[in-house]
Amino acid sequence: MNQPTRCCGITRCLLIVLFSVYAVNSGNTNWGNEAPSPHQAVHSPKPIRHNQIQHRQTSRAQSIKNKVRNQESPQNIIIILADDLAWSDLSCYGHSWHETPNLDQLAESGIRFTQAYASAPICSASRASLLTGKSTARLGFEFVTKNELGTQQIDQATPLQAPPYQLQLELNQLTIAERLEPLGYQSFFAGKWHLNAHHNGYLGWSPTHGPAQQGFQKAIQDFGSHPYGWKKSQPPTIEINGEYPEDSLIDQICETLAEQPNGTPTLSVASLYHVHTPVKTTCQWLIRKYDQRVPMDSPAREKRVRYAAFVETLDHHVGQILRTVQQSDRQRETIIIFTSDNGGHPEYTANAPLRGSKWNLYEGGIRVPFIANWPNKIAPGQTSDRPIVGYDLLPTLLDLCKAKPTDLRDPWLDGKSFADTLINHPPKNLSCEDPDRSTSQAEPEHQREMIWHFPYYHPETGYASAIEKIGIDDFKVSKTHPHSAIRVGRHKLIWFPETDSTELYDLDSDPSESINLADTSPSLNQNLRQRLTDYLERVNARLAIAKTK
């Protein structure tokens, strides 16, 4: 079996380890010294050499800060990451009964992408890719973290064996926080991490591979009002229209954003647990509201009523964050990115017109909402059909923050900057940019490759009873076989190693992936298959391999 590429030399590894130690030791130096509350697990700073480190950090940040300000880069970057939110779930993406006024407003005053993708159809892999700018194939991180090392065991005989589980994002991988730190940015992470082996309970942060070890100076672990945070009994229900339960995660995110000092460039990642299962709400008024709205003949109606309440709760939380930014005097210098880590859950939401769902590489599993808002730079009311993918975010932010062009051309990055679409929309203004600034200039957009790689089976429990065919709005979990995909221009090819077969779709004319062109367009099929194979070989991707007898 091939081993995943590991990209650093010894010197680079040492530097990264030293930086990680420094990041832990200097944690919380930027936004005050508040004591962690009982529900909060902040990575504590060690007191040694605290003042010295803080002084060095502050003076360095000050000099770079002035440079950043002069170049009109965003002083404040906020990434709001939803969990499992489907492409079609928001009202501004066409949902007919979900009410999402805050996200709709964010889109109306910024830009909304209609062909944005997550890097993976599943949590951990998608998040690892988003934070590093690398594909899951290159990272060798294609599935979700587990409690311990092992290999996938399925309750039905399968011809292939998936690669061993990956338990964490390795420390030698540079995250967005670590890439922005040399440009003077301080970083804050709150919420769902899911990039280490579960520690002290499901989704618990590890003391060795948590956000503090990956470049975030401040980090808050808290489940808030999501059912993950419920104790043994369900909290009291809320009957009054418009009232929501207290959410300690959102409160702490807002407090931190409000405390961020003017003049310090910051990156904040608000990684929210909604709308991931378990889909339970204490807001009875929302249940009543959507019980009136969801059509009586809707499949999975009861689940969809609860899910609608969940989506509106997510929107409420985003609204709290947006209001905090609006009430600060940093709003015009703040870029807000909103997206989801993977497609919608098949049992709870309709992904139509897209085929598939979370856990597979049809469009419903990977196409997600993506909104960007920056009052100073992004023209309001824009919509873009440019295909972008989660691993593009890191080079895009580096581009906006005026990283060196050589950093953007890092051969280990898979992402391409789409900064030109953000700040120069409509495209006629592209000539204002230095062509060396954006990597997207280096390759014609219609030739650009996007890659997804999922060499696993799913579900691990209940595979035998899962439905065989992946359709549109199944409202059931289906069997996912190992598969990989490539999109170039309007075409997408999916390769299934079990049968060494391919499916080829024209996404412009057939977004539902219903007409397989593999046999009728053999030349194109062969071309994309070869490009996918070449890429997987080039990055030494881990493959599902034949089982030994």
Chain positions contacting Ca ion, by CB under 5 A: 83-84, 123, 341-342
For Ca ion, the closer CB: 85 or 378: 85
User: What is the distance of C-alpha 413 from the center of its chain?
Assistant: 16
Instruction: Pick the closer one to Ca ion by CB: 342 or 421.
Output: 342
Runs of H (alpha helix) within 136-283 = 136-139, 176-180, 248-259
CB of 121 to Ca ion, least distance (A): 9
DSSP run (H or E) holding 108: helix 101-108
Min dist. Cβ of residue 80 to Ca ion (A): 14
We find the least distance from the C-beta atom of residue 123 to Ca ion, in angstroms, to be 4
Residue 260 CB, nearest distance to Ca ion (Å)? 27
Tell the smallest beta-carbon distance from residue 444 to Ca ion (Å): 32
User: Shortest Cβ distance from residue 400 to Ca ion (Å)?
Assistant: 26
Nearest by Cα to 237 from 274, 287, 307, 277: 287
Cβ neighbors of 209 (< 8 A, separation 6 or more) are: 168, 169, 170, 171, 195, 196, 197
**Which amino acid would we find at residue 184?**
G
Q: Which two tokens mark 297? A: 């003949």
Could you give the C-alpha distances from 148 to 155, 165, 209, in angstroms and in order?
A: 19, 8, 14
Output the six-digit token pair for 255.
């407090």
Closest chain position to Ca ion (CB): 123
Cβ proximity to Ca ion: between 131 and 539 the closer is: 131
The least distance separating Ca ion from the CB of residue 84, rounded to whole angstroms, comes to: 4
For residues 484 and 242, give the distance between their C-alpha atoms in angstroms, rounded to a whole number: 44
DSSP lists the bridge partners of residue 339 as 81, 370
Question: Taking the complex as a whole, how short is the minimal distance between the CB of residue 122 and Ca ion, in angstroms?
Answer: 7
Nearer to Ca ion, 207 or 229 (CB): 229
Nearest to 78 by CA among 310, 325, 244: 325
Neighbours of 355 (CB within 10 A): 22
Contacts of 291 (CB under 8 A, 6+ apart): 305
Which of residues 57 and 342 has its CB atom nearest to Ca ion in the complex?
342
Q: Other CB atoms closer than 10 Å to residue 429's CB: what's the count? A: 12
Residue pair 405/145 in contact by the 8 Å Cβ criterion: no
Smallest separation, CB 139 to Ca ion (Å): 17
Nearest distance in Å: CB 242, Ca ion: 28
Tokens standing for residue 322: 């947006």
In the complex, the smallest distance separating the C-beta of residue 83 from Ca ion, rounded to whole angstroms, is: 5
Burial 376-385 (b: 16+ CB within 10 A, else e): ebbeeebebe
Nearer to Ca ion, 84 or 420 (CB): 84
According to DSSP, residue 330 is labeled: T
**What CA–CA distance (Å, rounded) separates 54 from 47?**
11
Using CA atoms, how far residue 512 sits from 86, 184, 352, in Å, is 15, 44, 8
- Judged by DSSP in three states, 466 sits in coil
CB of 81 to Ca ion, least distance (A): 9
Buried b / exposed e across 42-51, counting CB within 10 Å, b at 16+?
bbebeeeeee
Other Cβ atoms within 10 Å of 523 Cβ, number: 7
Nearer to Ca ion, 161 or 357 (CB): 357
What gap in Å lies between CA 112 and CA 385, rounded to an integer?
Answer: 9
